[in-house]
Chains A and B, each alone.
Chain A
């Protein structure tokens, strides 16, 4: 089953602002990270997935349903946690989550039971009977997560769930999201502008920029065979770069360092040979693990 699939999905506001441009992506169930800078089109994509915004053109399917023609069926199986403040301050978390559970079609007693159960799962116990207005940001985020979970959806759409949290709160929230995706058996789409955060918990990563798809792939595919060798010489960096390029090594400069993809063991010999031939003082030669962030970096200028 495909969890979410889009085909040439485009959304423009008033014919001028382009939020999504020709986005084609398909992801399997699991924990999906949707990364992109602010204004990259993440929230627009979520609203289209929920059937709240009609796309300008293109097709979209969520859980094999079409949100443009049957939004109610999609929303019945999806839980949404918005980015912004969304809680009435004078209600208690228990009352609010119960009410929203009923709004999702749960019978009255079931809604009450599931509300307290989900609040417990997100880590709110006795405090759930106090008005939300007195909660910390971390507790409010947990309530927002609980209301998205209360009706037991098959897919959670989380828009910047770590917004406004301190480092410990971020870790706790990410751990919780990871637990939902693995132990609860619910697929999760996590939106974030912080790649470093989502890459820790995701199976699949979708990166968008300016409404365009940068890359979508399973995270293990992204990090494998992408190790780099970092070479640093005290002088003659340009000379060495030229020589390495002449040896058909795709060399890139990163400040005072040269980065060469590690193809096989021979790459070491080629670099050492080149350095010895030019008689340059070698400062360092070591293997660097590629971070996912760097996978996106070289592609960005072409889209800018």
Chain B
């Protein structure tokens, strides 16, 4: 008679004596989990539709631009311009991703399970912020990389051309990073205020789109200074203002085509930094309140 194999023994409860990882590892795990959540990885098929649709659109646009450039040799969009042109898509992406990251946890009441663990509450908020910013940067930077590869392989100038192309790409990636940080900070703060995903999404779109009319009104007032500072009023135009000051030709080739910010470029940069800092501080405050409940 053959020996029975695969006998299941109930060995009872086992105490765990192995290693317990520190704060940095836990932060990293939460960050990666957030990044996966944004793109719907490890989630239902339904949660994957929208993120990958947006990824598809930006990739197709980038591929199209690359194809046009390699065929007729004309640069339709610089790397930075690409990030600019895709910003409206980023708004909708944030409106879906930010509530997915934070509103869902608020609604399901899972936060006490996080805050009863060693992880400090600030780490929770910061890890989520970092995941959203990275996701947005990947969304804008990934297609730029596609454009770069296309250009680098089709350049007639050999290595020199590739090097020049790389010098064009890097400011584009930095500009994408600026978009990512500003949009992530604002979007996550708005989303952290409510547990209802639809409200959060609406709120985010409202903050980004409803502020544009203010810019419109301010820019036709009969004062040059007000006109030149008008773009501060909306996050998208704020980022464009910083871009036009810092990148100039790369974003707006040809003199006089950029937005009218006059000599206020540094003001735009400072306001952007303050805005991100304020949103992050408010986000941390918000989670301090949530954790005490």
> Does B43 contact A151, Cβ atoms closer than 8 Å?
no
Chain B residues near A103 (CB-CB < 8 A):
26, 29-30, 114, 117, 119
Instruction: Type the 1/0 row for B140-175, where 1 means its CB is closer than 8 Å to any CB of A.
Output: 000000000000000000000000000000000000
Contact B33 A105 (CB under 8 A): no
Interface assignment of A26: CB less than 8 Å from any CB of chain B:
no
- B104 x A88 contact (CB < 8 A): yes
Q: Is the CB of A75 within 8 A of B117?
A: yes
B43: min CB distance to chain A, Å: 7
Please tell me if B216 contacts chain A, counting CB pairs below 8 Å: no
Question: Which B residues, 107 to 136, have Cβ-Cβ distances below 8 Å to chain A?
Answer: 108-110, 112-120
A263: which B residues are within 8 A, CB to CB?
none
Q: Report which of B26, B44, B292 forms a contact with A102, defined as CB distance below 8 A.
A: B26
Q: How large is the interface on A (under 10, 10 to 19, 20 to 34, 35 or more residues)?
A: 35 or more
| Interchain CA distance A184-B15 in the complex, whole Å | 8
Question: How many Å lie between the Cα of A117 and that of B42 in the bound state?
Answer: 21
Query: Of B13, B21, B22, B113, which is within 8 A of A121 by CB?
Result: B13
- Report yes or no: B109 in contact with A85, Cβ–Cβ below 8 A: yes
In the complex, which residues of chain B have a beta carbon less than 8 angstroms from the beta carbon of A110? 16, 18
A105 touches B118 (CB 8 A): yes
Interface residues of A in 157-197 (CB under 8 A from B): 180, 183-185
Q: What per-residue 1/0 map shows which CB atoms of A72-83 lie under 8 Å from chain B?
A: 110110111010
Known: A78-B116, A105-B21, A106-B21. A86 touches B108 (CB 8 A): yes
C-alpha gap A90/B48 in the complex (Å): 13
Partner among B19, B108, B112, B118 whose Cβ is within 8 Å of the Cβ of A104? B118
Whether the Cβ atoms of A87 and B22 lie closer than 8 Å is: no
The dominant DSSP class at the B interface is: loop
Chain B neighbourhood of A84, CB < 8 A = 109, 112
Interface centre among B22, B47, B108, B120 (most CB of A within 10 A): B108
Contact A52 B30 (CB under 8 A): no
- Asked whether B105 is an interface residue with its Cβ less than 8 Å from the other chain, the reply is yes
Q: A88-B105, A95-B42, A183-B13 are in contact. Are A106 and B112 (CB under 8 A)?
A: no
B113/A147 in contact, CB under 8 A: yes
In the complex the two chains form, is A87's CB within 8 Å of B108's CB? yes
Q: How far is A73 from B120 in the complex, measured between Cα atoms in Å?
A: 11
Residues of A within 8 A of B54 (CB): none
A107 contacts chain B at the CB level, 8 A cutoff: yes
Closest chain A residue to B105, Cβ basis:
A88
- Flag whether A99 is at the interface (Cβ < 8 A): yes
Contacting residues, chain A, for B119 (C-beta < 8 A): 103
User: Is B9 among interface residues, defined by CB-CB distance under 8 A?
Assistant: no
Partner of B16, one of A95, A102, A121, A151: A151
| Chain A residues within 8 Å of B115, by CB | 52
> Which residues of chain B are within 8 angstroms of A100 by Cβ–Cβ distance?
113-114, 117
B-side contacts of A72, CB under 8 Å? 23, 118, 120
B13→A107 contact, CB < 8 A: no
18 contacts between A and B (CB under 8 A): A50-B116, A72-B120, A80-B113, A82-B109, A85-B109, A86-B110, A89-B108, A90-B47, A95-B42, A103-B26, A103-B29, A103-B117, A105-B22, A107-B21, A110-B16, A180-B13, A184-B13, A185-B13
Question: 4 extra interchain contacts, Cβ-Cβ under 8 A, other than A88-B104, A105-B20?
Answer: A75-B116, A82-B109, A84-B109, A184-B13
The 9 closest A-B pairs by CB, nearest first: A80-B116, A152-B16, A105-B20, A88-B108, A72-B118, A184-B13, A105-B21, A86-B109, A82-B112
